[in-house]
Amino acid sequence: MKTRKIWIARHAARYDCENKQWKKWTQFPFDTPLSAEGHMQAKKLADSLEEGSLTIISSPFKRAIETSLHAARKFQTFIKIDYGLSEWIDPAVANKCTELEPRHPHHTPEIDSLYVDESGYYLQTQNRADMEDRAGDTFDRLISRFLDTNLLMITHGAPVVAIMKHVVRSLPMPPVCSLQEFEECENDASLILRKQSDVSHLR
């Protein structure tokens, strides 16, 4: 019986949690990069993934893309940016700057410029129920769209919780750079949960 792995990861440690002053001078305070520790975490996550064909799909936020880069370089593949995996834009922060720093292809050649995002979402504010629907629908869409490879989805805490609630059960907020792993059986497309909030790769 042929199986494949589907991994859902929360991005690694963010720079603004290390440097509290960063948001005061940056033009894009909602789009923090990773810290040095975060890059080390992301490399360990990438190194923990099994060898084989891999499709990487990331939230458009810089912290998720930078987490994805380590896996893209290890597996020598591209990163597909899908807004359906975006952070939750709570209406409570709607009056703050929620713009993302523009991406320049020559700075990040690992990004797949030909990928067509079918989410229909672009950083609109959402209540929790709408965010959970968006995350669950994105998970279903991506596992149906990419059938022949292992999948790695890099997203954020709230969408991870929403996806896990959608697929199996509710889940407390997962640690940064934690991994959820499903095994999908080809004959019936059933999903078997193998890891949940796993951070063993960070030790």
Q: What is the DSSP pairing of strand 150-155 with strand 79-81? A: unpaired
How far, in Å, CA of 111 to CA of 26, rounded?
23
Domain 3-202: CATH superfamily, name plus number:
Phosphoglycerate mutase-like (3.40.50.1240)
Please state the domain extents for the chain: 3-202
User: Who has greater pLDDT, 172 or 157?
Assistant: 157
pLDDT category, 26, cuts 50, 70, 90? Answer: confident
**Predicted confidence (pLDDT) at residue 1 exceeds the cutoff of 60:** no
Look up residue 180 and give its amino acid: Q
User: How much is the mean pLDDT over the chain?
Assistant: 90
Model pLDDT for residues 43-88, shown as the tens digit of each residue: 999 999 999 999 999 999 999 999 999 999 999 999 999 999 999 9
Contacts 24+ apart (CB under 8 A), 134-139: 134/84, 134/162, 135/84, 135/85, 135/159, 135/162, 135/163, 135/166, 136/162, 136/163, 136/165, 136/166, 136/167, 137/84, 138/82, 138/84, 138/85, 138/163, 139/8, 139/163, 139/166, 139/167
